[in-house]
Amino acid sequence: MNQSEKPQPNIEIIPASLEQKATLANLFELYSYDFCEFVDLEIGPDGQFRDVDLDIYWTEPARYPLLVYVDTRLAGFALIDGLPRGSLDAMVWDVAEFFILRGYRRAGIGTEVAHQVWRRFPGRWQVRVIVSNEPAYRFWHHAIESFAGQNIVATRVMQGGRDRHLFSFESRPDSQER
């Protein structure tokens, strides 16, 4: 290996335990702060943004809180929701929230994390991106196209009072681990 080549980082994605809920909540604060650039989020009088009920990820089925580690260091999280569409076979997986710490961005880590998550939960997927978040749109477009191996086109939808890009694609059952 020459000096300009870096070794590939070891990426580990683990289910967040109930004991790690505070860790995920702390990361969610950083995520919310970053997100303020694209949407109007108000900080509470306690200095926190929390506008999402994280408890549901430990109490409701088909919701998965995941923590991301790079070379054993905490690097981000993903919140995955299984959205039933009439039957288990019709389940649509949704990237509800996704965050990689700034120090790990632009190194392919986020893309690799997304690919690993999609392989872990095979089936139909959707990724929603607020239209004003152009960097996220570029990231998800690249990540999904490189995963799917084909051109992917997002559709525009109104959800929750926000104009969004909606990506839809299929993940093949390469891995069944969760």
**3, 67, 107, 108, 140 from 70: Cα distances, Å:** 21, 10, 12, 12, 20
What percentage of the chain reaches a pLDDT higher than 90? 53
Among residues of the chain, what percentage have pLDDT more than 70?
86
Maximum distance among all alpha carbons in the chain?
54
pLDDT tens for 12-32 read 999 999 999 999 999 998 887
pLDDT, position 160: 74
CATH code given to domain 11-171 = 3.40.630.30
**Residue type (1 letter), 139:** F
Q: Give the tens place of pLDDT for each residue, 108-153.
A: 999 999 999 999 999 999 999 988 889 999 999 999 999 988 888 8
Mean pLDDT of 166-175: 80
Domain limits of the chain? 11-171
Torsions phi, psi for 139 (to 5 deg): -60, -55
Show the tokens assigned to 107.
């190194």
17-24: long-range contacts, CB 8 A cutoff, minimum separation 24: 18/58, 20/67, 21/54, 21/55, 21/58, 21/65, 23/67, 23/74, 24/54, 24/57, 24/65, 24/67, 24/77
32 compared with 6, residue with greater pLDDT: 32
Q: Distance (Å, rounded) from C-alpha 150 to C-alpha 103?
A: 29
* Residue 113 DSSP code: H
What average pLDDT does the chain have?
Answer: 85
Give the pTM: 0.86
